[in-house]
Amino acid sequence: MIEKIDSILPQTQCGQCGYPGCKPYATAIANGEADINQCPPGGDDGIHKLADLLGVDYKPLNEEHGAPKPKSVAIIDEKTCIGCTLCIQACPVDAILGSAKHMHTIIEKECTGCELCLPPCPVDCIEMVPIKETTENWKWKYPVHKFKVEERDAP
């Protein structure tokens, strides 16, 4: 069950749910220690999917954990970056490339938009930029209705 729950979660590893990543949150849900509505990046869609999987009622997002936002990617102003490595240490998915006293950059394809790199930056050179919707990253936003298929006897 933990794997199924984890597959629904957005894998941002942001900790907004109160757990250090998506897998620990999935484990807590499976063990009845956490509610299904603690993941802002998963949003309403994620909560509906978790409710369906677990056979429980939908609950709106608990805003104590944050508010849903558009999926974003971190961008470093490379002219301002001082190479302190604090953002590298904070990134849970190793999406920041650089070394001490050298400019850093984001590997955009790897960035989950968790925002954990923002607080430690001493020069405030990291900005979160919403990802523009394209034909390559577009996803259906509306609920998918499940239809029951009945077996019929062949004549």
The SS3 assignment for 112 reads coil
pLDDT class of 70 with cuts at 50, 70, 90: confident
The 3-state secondary structure of 76-128 reads ECCCCCCCCCHHHHHCCCCCEECCCCCCCEECCCCCCCCCCCCCCCCCCCEEE
2-65 placed in CATH 1.10.15.40: yes
pLDDT of residue 102: 87
pLDDT class of 142 with cuts at 50, 70, 90: low
Whole-number Å distance between alpha carbons of 82 and 100? 9
Q: Which CATH architecture has domain 70-131?
A: 2-Layer Sandwich (3.30)
- Length in residues, the chain: 155
Q: What phi and psi values does residue 128 have, to the nearest 5 degrees?
A: -95, 125
DSSP-assigned beta bridge partners for residue 129: 73
As a whole-number percent, the residues of the chain with pLDDT over 70 amount to 87
Would you list the domain boundaries of the chain? Answer: 2-65, 70-131
pLDDT of residue 5: 96
DSSP letter at 109 equals T
pLDDT digits 0-9 by tens, 72-129: 999 999 899 999 999 999 999 999 998 888 888 999 999 999 999 999 999 999 999 9
Q: What phi and psi values does residue 86 have, to the nearest 5 degrees?
A: -65, -35
Distance of CA 19 to the CA centre of its chain: 13
pLDDT top residue among 148 and 94: 94
pLDDT of residue 146: 53
pLDDT digits 0-9 by tens, 27-41: 999 999 999 999 999
Averaged confidence pLDDT in the chain: 88
Whole-number Å distance between alpha carbons of 144 and 52? 12
